[in-house]
Amino acid sequence: MSRPRPATIRDVAALAGVSVGTASKALNGRGSLRAQTVARVRQAAEQLDFRPNQAARDLHGDRTYTVGMITTDTIGRFSIPLLIGAEDILGAGQVSVLLCDARDDPIRERHHLRVLLGRRVDGIIVTGRRAGTRAPIGTNLPVPVVYAFISSTDSADCSVVPDETGGIRLAADHLRHAGRSRLVHVTGPEHHHSARVRASALAGDLVAEPLFGEWSEAWGRRAAGLLLARGVDFDGVIGGNDQIARGVAETLREAGRDVPGDVAVTGFDNWDVIAEASRPSLTSIDMDLDGLGRAAAGLLLAAIDGDPRPGQHRHPARLVIRDSTL
């Protein structure tokens, strides 16, 4: 038999008919609340046998209204949209974000963690330049941690990740609805988490084995040349990212294949500087990184308020249609 879920601060607030913030203030003796409100909240907590998280209780007693973000994404391709989304949520609560670049260096990462904890941040968001999994940044930390874009290997941690399987399926279904039935897939290195996940999601949809290579336009060109040289009969290409898709589209056009007339092409990432500058412009899958950042920030605030939500949370992708499939 499964154990009942412990009551959270949100449960207490709902039963007492107040906001989460008001419930937190009532239980922690903060703010200027009516005696009746405090009594109602405490009665609800007792009724639900609510046991507040001690770290969250300590944190509420001395909030700094700062949150740390540790990233390994040096160029900011993925972390900047995440940061913008997180700030949309955190900024509304007057919470500042301190961004630290670990550059894939464990020593630098530990240094940043010590500095952030020394500054008594209220929580930490950990992100990176690629999807996949990583070891937890620490154990028994005094503040909540949420992993965004990348997932912690510890299921007890809270991670928010893009739904790459759902995203690549959107591309395949779009091509199918557009009348394309002979699909091929050109993607990045086979050892890369995203390349494997996306290729696996297309099993049964392709007329040839996926072509694994590099996350580059040059690889897209070479792969398109290989498909043509091998005489593969295809009318739709699902690119593993936008650079690959642009390379494929340009090579097809140079070989006399009309895009999208003869072959429709989709990308992934919806990197506007690539997708919109391509000729024709690329239909692509957008992982909604700013939305993912907002989701991560919301989960972090909930954890700070004593309502942690462990496990992996998948954030949906969306299809952006442009000329390469019309």
Question: The whole model's pTM is what?
Answer: 0.78
Query: Phi and psi at residue 23, in whole multiples of 5°?
Result: -60, -45
What gap in Å lies between CA 198 and CA 130, rounded to an integer? 14
pLDDT tens string 235-261:
999 999 999 999 999 999 999 999 999
pLDDT at 59: 44
Using CA atoms in the order 40, 45, 49, 50, what is the torsion angle rounded to 10 degrees? 180
C-beta of residue 242 within 8 angstroms of C-beta of residue 282: yes
What are the helix (H) ranges across 230-310? 242-254, 272-275, 289-304
What gap in Å lies between CA 9 and CA 20, rounded to an integer? 6
pLDDT at 92: 75
End-to-end alpha carbon distance in the chain: 53
DSSP string computed for 33-69: --HHHHHHHHHHHHHTT----HHHHHHHHT---EEEE
For residue 99, give Cα distances in angstroms to 116, 125, 130, 132, 260. 10, 9, 17, 21, 42
pLDDT tens string 29-61:
655 678 788 889 889 988 988 866 544 544 445
- Listed as ranges, residues in the chain with pLDDT below 50 are 1-2, 54-55, 57-60
What gap in Å lies between CA 196 and CA 211, rounded to an integer? 11
